[in-house]
Amino acid sequence: MRISHEAIYQALYVPSRGGLTRQQAWHLRRGRTKRTPRARTRQQAWAHVTDATTLKKRPSEADERKVAGHCEGDLIVGLNRSAIATLIDRTTRFAMLLHLPRQKGYGLVKPTKNGPALAGYGAVTTKNALVRTFEPLPADLRRSLTWDRGKEMSAHALLTQEIGLPVYFADAKSPWQRGSNEHLNGLLRQYFPKGTDISRWSTPEIQAVADIINNRPRGVLGWRTPAEAFADQLSSVPIATVASTG
């Protein structure tokens, strides 16, 4: 009789027993008490990032910061999987904060594999929040969105399909490629400290913080505020391209 080495490992790491005891694991080279499924080791960490969505494919005009409508985004995450999505326009430095409340049943319904994400920053929930934020804007002010490689953006193809907003992903461990957003998130931690449950703040309270950030004069804008710079961009967009909000 022939038997594979994987069958031997699976027999040793019996799930019903909870794997090996800590004392038994001491005799193993890697000291693991549980067997990592082989399929999991083959999973791509960033399967949602394709060659067409890497940063090198983003229009070069975004790098120059002369044309508004190219945004950067990310999450600030708090306790109990609470989060706010943060957006900033690379040219005007105008910030937009998206409230991502946890879904009904969070903490009550047992999570299921491939089931709906009940945390506020599941892929579909994040996509829907971005659609609600960007769709009312003129097409000229939603030219691109640069994000890190978090799985909350796994539904980026649907986002692009629904409102025509292309999404590009920064390289792994390269926060400087989203420098404006990283700076914004640092400022926001004054209002939403690490180690707190962000869901305690309501949408109006979060918007009030965005208003404070957007009404700070910025040297890079000639000491105008981001709100003023963004308003200028809105007023300069041809009326025919302005999306209806009614």
Q: How many CA atoms lie within 13 A of 51 on its CB side?
A: 0
Chain segment 41-90, per-residue pLDDT in tens: 445 566 899 999 999 999 999 999 999 999 999 999 999 889 999 999 99
Q: What is this structure's pTM?
A: 0.77
Pairing of strands 95-100, 70-77: unpaired
Percent of the chain with pLDDT strictly greater than 70 = 73
When pLDDT is averaged across residues 183-209 and rounded to a whole number, the result is: 96
The amino acid present at 19, given as its one-letter code, is: G
Token readout for 131 is 């659609």
Cα dihedral 210, 186, 94, 74 sign: negative
CA distances 222 to 211, 218, 229, Å, are 19, 7, 10
17/239 Cα distance (integer angstroms): 67
Token readout for 63 is 């790098």
User: What confidence category does residue 92 fall into, taking pLDDT thresholds of 50, 70 and 90?
Assistant: very high
How many Cβ atoms from other residues are within 10 Å of residue 86's Cβ? 23
Token readout for 46 is 């960033």
Percent of the chain with pLDDT strictly greater than 90 = 67
Residue bearing the bigger pLDDT, 188 or 113: 188
Given a cut of 60, whether residue 26 has pLDDT beyond it is: no
What is the torsion angle, in degrees rounded to the nearest 10, for the CA atoms of residue 17, residue 19, residue 25 and residue 27?
80
Catalogue all structural domains in the chain, each as residue range(s) with its CATH number.
5-42 (no CATH), 51-241 (3.30.420.10)
Pairing of strands 70-77, 83-89: antiparallel
Best CA proximity match to 229, nearest among 91, 129, 23, 96: 91
pLDDT score of 81: 87
pLDDT score of 3: 75
58/69 Cα distance (integer angstroms): 13
